[in-house]
Amino acid sequence: MHLPASLRIVRVSQRLAALSLLVVVVMLLLNAASWLMPVVARLGGLRFGLSARIVSRLAPDLVALGEWQRLGAALLSSVPLLALALALLNLRALFQRYARGEYFSAAAADHFGNVGRAVLAWVVLDFLCEPLLSVWVTMGTPQGHRVMFSVGTGTVVALFLAACITVIAHILRQASDLEQEHRQFV
């Protein structure tokens, strides 16, 4: 049985809103767990972005790090993820609006724009926190082997997507404003 398109959009939007929240919670918990519980870190694929890069490149023995050092690493690596969580929470709010049929509202455009700005913040914070985290986890190594910077294709793609999302959100906002003006004339 085929559902009407509007009902499918409502259901998919509700599911994506719930999934967005789940991704936020799981992402933050797994990131912290990968630093605080070395057994989780050994599972490899359960680390996110910055944590994965630092652990794989520097390969510190997480058990050898002090608890305070692992806690600091968990906090530092979570800073960029908080910006990504903000992007996902705005995406969740956007899907909730879509589930209510608010496809071209100014608020929906604002949520979409916030997604773009939060993704941009995530990329910038990831870049800034990487050298801090690499110094933090390698405090005992010689000075020339501590600081790390990396800009990969994923970073460039994320910046491009953030810019595109921000521009599209601005266009949607203007379309919403024009639609409101049109309603006032009619």
Percent of the chain with pLDDT over 90: 50
What b/e readout covers 118-136, taking b as 16+ CB neighbours within 10 angstroms?
bbbbbbebbbebbebbbeb
Question: pLDDT digit string (tens) for 131-160?
Answer: 889 888 888 776 665 556 667 788 889 999
Per-residue confidence band for 72, with pLDDT thresholds at 50, 70 and 90 = very high
Specify the pLDDT at position 143. 67
pLDDT at residue 43 greater than cutoff 70: no
Per-residue confidence band for 3, with pLDDT thresholds at 50, 70 and 90 = low
CB 17 within 8 A of CB 95: yes
Specify the pLDDT at position 80. 95
Provide the residue count of the chain: 186
**CA–CA separation, 163 and 157 (whole Å):** 10
pLDDT at residue 40 greater than cutoff 60: yes
**CA–CA separation, 117 and 168 (whole Å):** 12
Question: pLDDT digit string (tens) for 7-32?
Answer: 899 999 999 999 999 999 999 998 88
| 9-18, 66-75, 79-88: the lowest-pLDDT one | 66-75
CB 177 within 8 A of CB 106: yes
Measured from the Cβ of residue 60, the count of other Cβ atoms closer than 10 Å reads 20
**CA–CA separation, 55 and 36 (whole Å):** 13
| Identity of the residue numbered 111 | H
Specify the pLDDT at position 108. 94
CB 22 within 8 A of CB 49: no
Specify the pLDDT at position 166. 95
pLDDT at residue 167 greater than cutoff 60: yes
Instruction: Say which DSSP state 133 is in.
Output: H
* Mean pLDDT taken over the chain: 85
**CA–CA separation, 34 and 42 (whole Å):** 8
Specify the pLDDT at position 148. 65
CB 81 within 8 A of CB 27: yes
Instruction: Report the phi/psi class of residue 123: left, alpha or beta, with left for phi > 0 and alpha for psi in -120 to 50.
Output: alpha
Question: pLDDT digit string (tens) for 54-63?
Answer: 766 655 567 7
Specify the pLDDT at position 58. 54
Per-residue confidence band for 46, with pLDDT thresholds at 50, 70 and 90 = low
Structure tokens at 168: 């599209």
Domains of the chain by residue range? 5-185
Which single residue is written with the structure tokens 């690596």?
A: 77
C-alpha gyration radius of the chain: 20
